């Protein structure tokens, strides 16, 4: 069923692209600007959400995932150093 819908959407899209009206509209600078804005909109929204999340995290003094990952790496390095020291002291 989903495949049928996809095929139908593709065929309708191809018909539209071959239409002289759509071809003429695509030549318009205004249409190009609108399409460009529509394509960049999701990126701008996600960046805005990420920025707001970082502001809230900083305001509430919460650890972010990157902070936790950094601490995990530091702990792993310290554990490795302790293991190395223990092995060298055993010899």
In this structure, are 66 and 56 located in the same domain? Answer: no
**SS3 call for 28:** coil
Total number of domains in the chain = 2
Those residues whose C-beta lies under 8 Å from the C-beta of residue 85, and which sit 6 or more positions away, are none
How is residue 82 annotated by DSSP?
A: H
In this structure, are 40 and 2 located in the same domain? Answer: yes
User: Does position 90 have pLDDT exceeding 80, yes or no?
Assistant: no
How is residue 1 annotated by DSSP?
A: -
In this structure, are 38 and 73 located in the same domain? Answer: no
In this structure, are 34 and 76 located in the same domain? Answer: no
> Could you give the CA distance from residue 73 to residue 11 in angstroms, rounded to a whole number?
51
In this structure, are 21 and 46 located in the same domain? Answer: yes
* pLDDT value of residue 20: 86
* pLDDT value of residue 6: 86
* pLDDT value of residue 79: 97
Where would I find the H helices in the chain?
A: 2-18, 20-27, 29-59, 65-90
As a whole number, mean pLDDT of residues 22-50 equals: 89
Range of the domain at 67: 62-91
């Amino acid at each position: 069923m989903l495949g049928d819908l996809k095929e139908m959407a593709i065929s309708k899209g191809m018909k539209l692209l071959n239409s002289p009206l759509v071809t003429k509209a695509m030549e318009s600078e205004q249409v190009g600007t609108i399409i460009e804005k529509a394509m960049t909109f999701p990126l701008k929204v996600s960046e805005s959400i990420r920025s707001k999340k970082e502001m809230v995290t900083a305001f509430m003094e919460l650890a972010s995932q990157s902070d936790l990952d950094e601490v995990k790496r530091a702990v792993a390095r310290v554990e490795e150093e302790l293991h190395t020291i223990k092995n060298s002291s055993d010899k």
